[in-house]
């Protein structure tokens, strides 16, 4: 097959980029940062009150930030690395190869950033994107309400016009890390008379604003990653609305696609030790080196097949998007499968761990890390849209099946 | 490499789809079946395939082929899967062409490859002996005799076995069933003395045969690759075949799925289109997701084969295992959602169910490949 000269040059350039990237990562990623984080405290989330849990964590973050590689594919003017899609894929592959963890975890990067890049005005992009890239501001997401879960568009938090400002009153729930966040991106009802999707606006404000309060929710895992968030006459300038007033649902949906893509990634974390080896620690192996529990071995092997296939599909989803061939609702398909798969992973881990995986408090069990993580995964198929909502979206938007 | 088809590959798909959907819709298979066609495929169509360069798609240009890769072969297989077209493409164009190209010496390549590319030679791989695909269990004996060998034993599920001019036979020249050492591949003229071929009409109405070898004499030149050392070559050829069959299964699954979704949008019960029922919507959505994930896994495997066949084993195992479970699910849902109509022979959907069952057995089923992945990962 005759390849064109341009694509030859392109692939040579990409190979050069790969070599340079690999060398840079080798020289700059501390050894401690070349393995997965083992606890939430081990993850760097940035923000005004951020503290590094270790010196290597600080070094790794600062080096990556200075290169723009906390957000490698964002434009350089907003603190990004300005990488092309192909270069970004190379960087991700090289980081995965050495097990390098992300230098910064952030809802600003995963969710708000993409929405601002598409819907934000110049002033908003200049104000917020560089602070996200530099990990200066930690964001939280004000979407769900006590009576607006799967039916998100029925949300009731209201924003009433008062001159150049909105006055916001209401309550959000399941706000991840609201108690640590500096700013919130929030869905509010700006027109209570319009049809439910049409009266919503997407607005940004500081969590230290007068009238904002948070209350952590204790979950079955014993952790409190989510809060209830209350707004009592919170005054926010109208200039903080992203996109048009009353057109916030478009922004919300676009952001949800990114959120779902992020959550689906949980099912294909091919990092750390393979399940088959973890299981061998507790169930043992036979003379041929096979797991001494044939049924569990079969479960793990089927899981591994599906995990490898999902990883290929995630890669293809990115490539399709680059090629302009992606269906906008495909992230719902990935979210469904990725979260169900992650739940399967933890069911297998619990089964493999047996009695050892039941300890909740001991030092030996790292304060019950495994059962708590297992319980945490049960939320994967609820948060960001339940599995049932995802299947409904696929049925209607991709398959075009009839009915409400 | 991006996991999407290039422009050239998309053009190849379009031209294959044009030819196949025009000349060989499912009614073509139905006609071959009902008329008990002795060949089991259309020779005329195979010549068109050759003229369009598909027969020699994997044959290097120096031997008259197109010199394309496994992704391209998968593109054609997927289109074959959409209409269930019986074609020598798999046995001759993919498996035999790869075996000869990878294992053949200069003389063997120049004798056979141009004939494959021109569509004038049909070949078949004779590997399985028992009810399940177990390549290392090969026990057909090849005993040294004079300057050559004598082959004795039997093979089953030889695709295109009753029409092949050339048989590529896996035999045991040393060691015992189950061992990697001692396997040898032979190129055997299907008309050679001592060969008895029984066409086995299978559930899917595609070609298959049982072939018996009673002291079949072959000379030393007929060895493909090295004596006793064929396991590696065989692994490669089988992995290529698996990638191709998995592609056929993706095409088949997607076609069943598309037909089923159309049915959900047209069939009314209880005064509603049945596609309005959430129970069916969710099952259709799950199946769609399954097919998309499997499609990606299969593309990944084909690209891995193109990059380095010897390193593609795990990707191929994932692809063939997924293709098995996904196509099984697709045809079950297809029949179930078509209700009573799905059970009739008059309706095409049953043809897909039958072909999926055969593809699942061909070159190892989902259990076999899941086991291979577990072994490769060392648990």
Q: Which residues contact A82 (CB under 8 A, 6 or more apart)?
A: A68, A73, A74, A75, A76
B279: chain A residues, CB-CB within 8 Å:
none
Give which of A266, A313, A340, A344 is closest to B291, Cα–Cα. Answer: A313
For residue A308, is pLDDT > 90? yes
> ipTM score of the complex?
0.96
User: What's the pLDDT at A41?
Assistant: 75
For residue A270, is pLDDT > 70? no
User: What's the pLDDT at A263?
Assistant: 77
**What's the average model confidence in pLDDT over A101-128?**
96
Of A157-166, A197-206, A262-271, B119-128, the one with minimum mean pLDDT is A262-271
A324: chain B residues, CB-CB within 8 Å:
none
Query: Minimal Cα–Cα distance from B242 to chain A, Å?
Result: 15
For residue A404, is pLDDT > 70? no
Query: Minimal Cα–Cα distance from A346 to chain B, Å?
Result: 18
Residue A311 CA to residue A298 CA, distance in Å, equals 20
Contact A313 B282 (CB under 8 A): no
User: What's the pLDDT at A271?
Assistant: 53
Contact A1 B68 (CB under 8 A): yes
Residue B366 CA to residue A361 CA, distance in Å, equals 41
Give which of B357, B140, B364 is closest to B238, Cα–Cα. Answer: B364
**Through-space distance between the first and last CA atoms of chain B, rounded to whole angstroms:** 30
For residue A401, is pLDDT > 80? yes
Residue B285 CA to residue B292 CA, distance in Å, equals 11
For residue B296, give the nearest of A274, A309, A336 by CB distance: A309
User: What's the pLDDT at B282?
Assistant: 98
User: What's the pLDDT at A2?
Assistant: 41
* Inter-residue contact B338 to B349 (CB < 8 Å): yes
Specify the residue for token string 């059970």. Answer: B343
Mean per-residue pLDDT over chain A, rounded: 92
Of A144-153, A179-188, A206-215, B314-323, the one with minimum mean pLDDT is A144-153
Contact B318 A297 (CB under 8 A): no
Of A12-16, B179-183, B295-299, the one with minimum mean pLDDT is A12-16
Query: Minimal Cα–Cα distance from A394 to chain B, Å?
Result: 6
User: What's the pLDDT at A4?
Assistant: 45
For residue A248, is pLDDT > 80? yes
User: What's the pLDDT at A266?
Assistant: 58
User: What's the pLDDT at A12?
Assistant: 86
Categorize the per-residue pLDDT at B331 as very low, low, confident or very high, splitting at 50, 70 and 90. Answer: very high
CATH architecture of structural domain A16-116: Orthogonal Bundle (1.10)
Contact B261 A319 (CB under 8 A): no
In chain B, the domains with their CATH numbers are 7-122 (1.10.540.10), 125-224 (2.40.110.10), 231-376 (1.20.140.10)
Categorize the per-residue pLDDT at B336 as very low, low, confident or very high, splitting at 50, 70 and 90. Answer: very high
Contact A305 B317 (CB under 8 A): yes
Q: Which fold has domain A251-398?
A: Butyryl-CoA Dehydrogenase, subunit A; domain 3 (1.20.140)
For residue A5, is pLDDT > 70? no
pLDDT in tens, A91-105: 998 998 898 999 999
pLDDT in tens, B183-219: 999 999 999 999 999 999 999 999 999 999 999 999 9
Strands B183-189 and B195-199: unpaired
For residue B104, is pLDDT > 70? yes
For residue B373, give the nearest of A291, A304, A316 by CB distance: A304
User: What's the pLDDT at A257?
Assistant: 86
User: What's the pLDDT at A8?
Assistant: 63
For residue A267, is pLDDT > 80? no
Q: Residue A314: which H helix or E strand, with range?
A: helix A294-322
User: What's the pLDDT at B150?
Assistant: 98
For residue A268, is pLDDT > 60? no
For residue B282, give the nearest of A297, A337, A395 by CB distance: A395
Of A34-38, A391-395, B4-8, B183-187, the one with minimum mean pLDDT is A34-38
Compute CA distances A303 → A352, A363, B46, whole Å: 13, 30, 40
User: What's the pLDDT at A37?
Assistant: 80
Mean per-residue pLDDT over chain B, rounded: 97
Query: Minimal Cα–Cα distance from B30 to chain A, Å?
Result: 29
Contact B288 A274 (CB under 8 A): no
**What's the average model confidence in pLDDT over B151-173?**
98
For residue A399, give the nearest of B67, B261, B318 by CB distance: B261
Contact A391 B67 (CB under 8 A): no
Nearest chain B alpha carbon to A3: B8
Q: Which residues contact B34 (CB under 8 A, 6 or more apart)?
A: none
**What's the average model confidence in pLDDT over A167-192?**
96
User: What's the pLDDT at B1?
Assistant: 83
Interface list for A 289-308 with B (CB within 8 A): 289-291, 297-298, 300-302, 304-306, 308
For residue A3, is pLDDT > 60? no
Nearest chain B alpha carbon to A300: B374
Tell whether A4 lies on the interface with B, counting CB pairs under 8 A: no
Categorize the per-residue pLDDT at A298 as very low, low, confident or very high, splitting at 50, 70 and 90. Answer: very high
Tell whether A398 lies on the interface with B, counting CB pairs under 8 A: yes
Question: Which of the four CATH numbers 2.30.30.230, 3.20.20.70, 2.40.10.120, 2.40.110.10 does domain A139-246 have?
Answer: 2.40.110.10
User: What's the pLDDT at A262?
Assistant: 77
Specify the residue for token string 């056929």. Answer: B248
Compute CA distances A197 → A41, A119, A328, whole Å: 38, 17, 18
Provide the residue ranges of all domains of chain A, joining segments of one domain with +.
16-116, 139-246, 251-398
For residue A391, is pLDDT > 90? yes
B328: chain A residues, CB-CB within 8 Å:
none
Residues pairing with A167 in the sheet: A160, A235
For residue B299, give the nearest of A285, A316, A388 by CB distance: A316
Contact A285 B281 (CB under 8 A): no
Number of H helices, E strands in chain A: 12, 8
User: What's the pLDDT at A154?
Assistant: 94
For residue A25, is pLDDT > 70? yes
């Amino acid at each position: 097959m005759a390849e064109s000269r341009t694509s030859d040059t392109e692939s040579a350039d990409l190979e050069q980029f790969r070599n340079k990237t690999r060398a840079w990562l080798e020289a700059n990623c501390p050894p401690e940062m070349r393995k997965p984080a083992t606890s939430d405290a081990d993850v760097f989330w940035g923000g005004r009150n951020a503290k590094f849990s270790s010196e290597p964590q600080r070094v790794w973050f600062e080096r990556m930030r200075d290169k723009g590689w906390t957000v490698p594919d964002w434009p350089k003017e907003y603190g990004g690395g300005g990488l092309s899609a192909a270069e970004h894929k190379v960087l991700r592959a090289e980081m995965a190869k050495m097990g390098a963890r992300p230098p910064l975890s952030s809802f600003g990067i995963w969710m708000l950033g993409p929405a601002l890049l598409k819907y934000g005005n110049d002033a908003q992009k200049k104000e917020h994107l560089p602070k996200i890239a530099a990990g200066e501001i930690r964001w939280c997401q004000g979407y769900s309400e006590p009576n607006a879960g799967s039916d998100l568009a029925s949300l009731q938090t209201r924003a009433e016009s008062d001159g150049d400002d909105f006055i916001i009153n209401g309550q959000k729930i399941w706000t991840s890390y609201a108690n640590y966040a500096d700013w919130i991106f929030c869905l509010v009802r700006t027109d209570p008379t319009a049809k439910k999707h049409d009266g919503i606006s997407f607005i940004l404000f500081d969590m230290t604003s007068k009238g904002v309060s948070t209350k952590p929710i204790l979950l079955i895992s014993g952790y409190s990653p989510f809060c209830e968030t209350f707004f009592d006459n919170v005054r926010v300038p109208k200039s903080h609305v992203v996109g048009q007033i009353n057109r916030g649902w478009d922004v919300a949906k676009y952001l949800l696609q990114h959120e779902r893509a992020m959550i689906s990634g949980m099912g294909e974390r091919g990092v750390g030790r393979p399940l088959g080896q973890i299981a061998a620690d507790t169930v043992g192996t036979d003379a041929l080196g096979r797991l001494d529990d044939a049924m569990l071995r079969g479960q793990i092997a089927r899981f591994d097949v599906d995990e490898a296939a999902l990883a290929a599909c995630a890669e293809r989803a990115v490539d399709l998007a680059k090629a302009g061939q992606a269906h906008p609702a495909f992230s719902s398909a990935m979210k469904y499968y990725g979260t169900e798969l992650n739940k399967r992973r933890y069911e297998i881990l619990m089964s493999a761990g047996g009695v050892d995986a039941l300890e909740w408090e001991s030092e030996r069990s790292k304060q019950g890390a495994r059962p708590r993580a297992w319980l945490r995964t049960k939320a994967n198929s609820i948060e960001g849209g339940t599995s049932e909502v995802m299947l409904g979206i696929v049925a209607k938007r991709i398959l075009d099946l009839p009915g409400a | 490499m991006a996991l999407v088809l290039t422009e050239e590959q998309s053009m190849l798909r379009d031209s294959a789809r044009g030819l196949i959907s025009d000349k060989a819709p499912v009614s073509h298979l139905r006609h071959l079946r009902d008329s008990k066609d002795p060949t089991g495929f259309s020779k005329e169509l195979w010549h068109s395939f050759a003229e369009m360069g598909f027969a020699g798609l994997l044959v290097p240009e120096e031997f008259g082929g197109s010199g394309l890769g496994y992704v391209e072969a998968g593109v054609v297989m997927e289109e074959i899967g959409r209409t269930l077209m019986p074609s020598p493409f798999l046995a001759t164009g993919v498996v035999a062409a790869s075996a000869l190209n990878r294992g053949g010496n200069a003389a063997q390549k120049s004798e056979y490859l141009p004939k494959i590319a021109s569509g004038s030679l049909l070949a078949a791989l004779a590997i399985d002996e028992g009810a399940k695909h177990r390549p290392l269990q090969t026990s057909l004996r090849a005993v040294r005799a004079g300057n050559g060998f004598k082959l004795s034993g039997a093979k089953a599920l030889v695709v295109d076995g009753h029409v092949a001019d050339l048989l590529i036979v896996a035999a045991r020249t040393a060691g015992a069933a189950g061992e990697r050492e001692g396997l040898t591949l032979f190129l055997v003229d299907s008309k050679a003395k001592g060969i008895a071929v029984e066409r086995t009409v299978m559930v899917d109405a595609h070609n298959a045969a049982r072939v018996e070898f009673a002291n079949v004499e072959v000379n030393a030149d007929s060895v493909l690759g090295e004596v006793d050392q064929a396991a590696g070559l065989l692994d490669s050829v089988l992995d290529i075949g698996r990638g191709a069959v998995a592609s056929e299964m993706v095409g088949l699954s997607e076609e069943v799925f598309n037909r089923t979704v159309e049915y959900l949008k047209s069939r009314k019960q209880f005064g509603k289109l049945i596609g309005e029922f959430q129970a069916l919507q969710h099952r259709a959505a799950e199946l769609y997701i399954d097919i998309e994930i499997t499609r990606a896994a299969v593309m990944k495997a084909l690209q891995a084969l193109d990059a380095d066949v010897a390193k593609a084993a795990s990707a191929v195992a994932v692809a063939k295992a997924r293709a098995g479970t996904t196509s099984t699910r697709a045809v079950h849902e297809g029949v179930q959602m078509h209700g009573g109509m799905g059970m009739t022979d008059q309706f095409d959907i049953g043809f897909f169910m039958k072909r999926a069952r055969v593809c699942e057995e061909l070159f190892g089923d989902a259990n076999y490949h899941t086991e291979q992945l577990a072994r490769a990962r060392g648990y």
